[in-house]
Amino acid sequence: MTRRFDVLVVGSGIAGLSFALKVARQGRSVAILTKKNKADSNTNWAQGGIAVVTAQTDAFAKHVKDTLVAGDGLCTEKVVREIVREGPARVQELVDLGLTFSRDKSGAYDLGREGGHSERRILHVKDMTGKAIEDALLQAIANEPLVALFEHFFAIDVITRRRPGGRRRVGPDRVEGLYALDVRDGRVVTFAAPVVMLASGGAGQVYLYSTNPDIATGDGIAMAYRAGVEVRNLEFIQFHPTTLYSPDNARFLISEAVRGEGAILRNLAGEAFMPAYHPQADLAPRDIVARAIDSEMKKSGAPHVWLDITHRTPAFLRNRFPQIDRICRQHGLDLAKDLIPVVPAAHYTCGGVATTLAAETSLPGLYACGEVACTGLHGANRLASNSLLEAVVMAHRGAASVQRYLEGLPAKRPSPLPEWVDLGGHDSDERVVVSHNWNELRHTMWDYVGIMRTTKRLERARSRIATLAREIHDYYWNFSVDPQLLELRNLTQVAELIVTCALQRRESRGLHAIADHPRRRMVARATRVRAD
Ligand code: SIN
C-alpha cells in the first residue's frame, strides 16, 4: 500500500515540528514519521537553551563573532550572519505558540551564559528548555488538521527516480518518497511525496558515551548519503565537557549553564585547571574545555574531574537547575555541598548533510534541517545553544523553499512507486550478534575516533568499521528488517563517514585534534563525501 502526501518529514524534534507546522499552514498535507514516540527527540533533552540577541548590551555582530571564533575559521560567515539576524523573529514565533522563557525578578528575560559567548544571551526555561519547546510545538501540531503524525515508523531509505530521458548527471534526478518500517507490525510501507525533509537529528549514539537519547543513530545522514547526496565536515563531533560520571555507560548532561553561573572545573588534587588552558577559563569554547579535561584525566589517570558550584545557595541551584539538582540527588550528590564528578561525552554532530541556506540538499525535493544538516553555521565547533536557533531559522527557510519547489512542479498524476523488496525476510538466532556489533562499533569509535586522534588510530577504526559494514551488507541484511538492524546499518555508515572525513583533514582545527597534524592549515576547507 502507498500513502500519499505533499510533504514527508522524518523526525519530530524542534526542526521537524517547526517545519511541518509552517508547511501545513501553507495548505500542504504533511506526514511526520518518527521511529519511536513523538516526544523522543534530541530536542526534548536540550537543557541549555537558545542563543539569540535580545539584550540592550548585546549585538548581532557580537553573536556572529562568538560563533566564528568557536567555529575556528570554518564557519560560512554569510550563513552565520543570516541565522543570527533571523533569530529574534523565529523566537518570537515560539513565544506566540505559548512558550514561556524564564524571566528574572524585574520581568526581563533571565539570560544564561555558556562557553564561548561574550554576553549573556541564552533564553532558557530553567534547565528544561528543549522539553518546553517540544511540548509547545506538539500542542500546535495536534491542532493542525493537515498534519498526520506516524509514531513508530522508521524511515529506511528515500525513493529517488531518474526522469525518463533526463539529462545525465551524477545521482538521481529527484526524490519521490520513502520506505518506512511500521515498527509495530513489521511491514514496510511506501510513502509517496515530492518533498522529503530530513530532520532526524545527529549521531551521538555512534560513541560509547553520549549525552544523546537512544534515537540519535544518524539515520538521516546515512539515508542522504545512500541517495547520493553530499555530506560534509563529519569529523567534527562535539564532546560536551561535563556529563555526570557513573561507572555504567549512561551519561547525564550537566549543562554548560552551570559553569555560566560560576561553576569551576577542578582536577582530583582540587586545582582549578582551566585558567592554564585558555584566557576564558571555564567558559572557553567547548572543544578547548573537553580537551583540557581529557588531558587532566590522562595526566592523573583519574576516571573524571570535579565540577564545583558549592559557592551557590541551595535555593538558587534548585530554582535555576531543578532537573540537574534532582538527578544529582538521585546519585547521592548535593550540588550545593558536593563536588560533582564529570567526564566528556559525545554530544553534537557539527557536520552532516550539506544544505543551502534554504535547507535544500543537492537532490531536488530532498531537504534537511537541524542537527542532521550542515549549513556552515557551526564550522569546526558549534557555539553552545546555537543549535536550537539554527533549527528554527532553517525550518522557516526550508518551508519557504518547499513552497516555491511545489509551486514549480508540473501538475500531473504521480506515477506509482516501486514497492519495497525484502531481500531475505527470515529471522535468525544470530540476531544477538547485531547487538554485539553495536557495542563493537561504539567502543571502536570511542577508543580510536575520540577527543584526541592519530592517523594510525583512525586507520585502525576504518578497517574495523569496514568489516562490520561488510557483515551487515553480506549477511544481516538478509534478515527481516527491524529497528535494531536499521540503526546498526545507519550507525556503521555514519561511522565510516566520520572516519573518512577525519582522514581527509590533515590538520588540527576545532573539534578535530590529531596528534600527527597538530597545526591548523592557513586555508580552511570543508571535508566532503559523496557516494559514487
Ligand atoms: C548545555 O546545556 O550545556 C548544552 C547546550 C548545547 O549543547 O547547546
Measured in Å, residue 48 CA sits from the centre of ligand 1 at: 4
The predicted structure's pLDDT at residue 431: 66
Ligand 1 mutation target, pool 45, 66, 255, 371, most atoms within 8 A of CB: 255
What is the distance between the alpha carbons of residues 237 and 347, in angstroms, rounded to a whole number?
A: 7
DSSP per-residue letters across 399-446: HHHHHHHHHHS---PPPPPPPP--S--B--GGGHHHHHHHHHHHHHHH
Q: Are residues 71 and 187 in the same domain?
A: yes
Q: Are residues 184 and 271 in the same domain?
A: no
Please work out whether the CB of residue 307 comes within 6 Å of at least one atom of ligand 1.
Answer: no
284 and 278 in contact (C-beta within 8 Å)?
Answer: yes
Please work out whether the CB of residue 402 comes within 6 Å of at least one atom of ligand 1.
Answer: no
Please work out whether the CB of residue 346 comes within 6 Å of at least one atom of ligand 1.
Answer: no
Our CA angle for 517, 519, 520, nearest 5°, is 115
Please work out whether the CB of residue 343 comes within 6 Å of at least one atom of ligand 1.
Answer: no
Point out the ligand 1 atom lying closest to the alpha carbon of residue 242.
3
Q: Are residues 91 and 223 in the same domain?
A: yes
Q: Which residue has the cell 544470530?
A: 430
Nearest to 161 by CA among 241, 106, 71, 227: 227
Percent of the chain with pLDDT over 70: 96
CATH of the domain at 320: 3.90.700.10
Look at residues 382, 399, 421 and tell me which one is the last residue of a structural domain: 421
Ligand 1: which residue has its CA nearest to atom 5? Answer: 48
Point out the ligand 1 atom lying closest to the alpha carbon of residue 256.
3
| Averaged pLDDT of the chain | 93
Counting Cβ atoms within 10 Å, is residue 436 exposed (0-12), middle (13-18) or buried (19+)? Answer: exposed
pTM: 0.95
Q: Are residues 259 and 204 in the same domain?
A: no
- Of these residues, 28, 90, 259, 286, which one is catalytic? 286
Point out the ligand 1 atom lying closest to the alpha carbon of residue 385.
8
| 286 a catalytic residue | yes
Residue 340: which residues within 8 A CB-CB, separation 6 or more? 244, 254, 306, 307, 308, 309, 328, 333
Measured in Å, residue 387 CA sits from the centre of ligand 1 at: 9
Please work out whether the CB of residue 492 comes within 6 Å of at least one atom of ligand 1.
Answer: no
Q: Are residues 374 and 495 in the same domain?
A: no
Please work out whether the CB of residue 211 comes within 6 Å of at least one atom of ligand 1.
Answer: no
Q: Are residues 146 and 38 in the same domain?
A: yes
Point out the ligand 1 atom lying closest to the alpha carbon of residue 49.
5
Q: Are residues 493 and 435 in the same domain?
A: yes
Please work out whether the CB of residue 391 comes within 6 Å of at least one atom of ligand 1.
Answer: no
- Which segments of the chain have a pLDDT < 50? none
Measured in Å, residue 382 CA sits from the centre of ligand 1 at: 10
Measured in Å, residue 436 CA sits from the centre of ligand 1 at: 31
Q: Which residue has the cell 591548523?
A: 520
Q: Are residues 323 and 356 in the same domain?
A: no
Point out the ligand 1 atom lying closest to the alpha carbon of residue 114.
3
Q: Are residues 522 and 467 in the same domain?
A: yes
- DSSP category for residue 53: -
Range of the domain at 210: 1-236+350-421
Give the number of domains in the chain: 3
Helices and strands of the chain, counted as H and E runs: 14, 22
Q: Are residues 89 and 166 in the same domain?
A: yes
The predicted structure's pLDDT at residue 163: 64
The predicted structure's pLDDT at residue 303: 93
Look at residues 301, 328, 344 and tell me which one is the last residue of a structural domain: 344
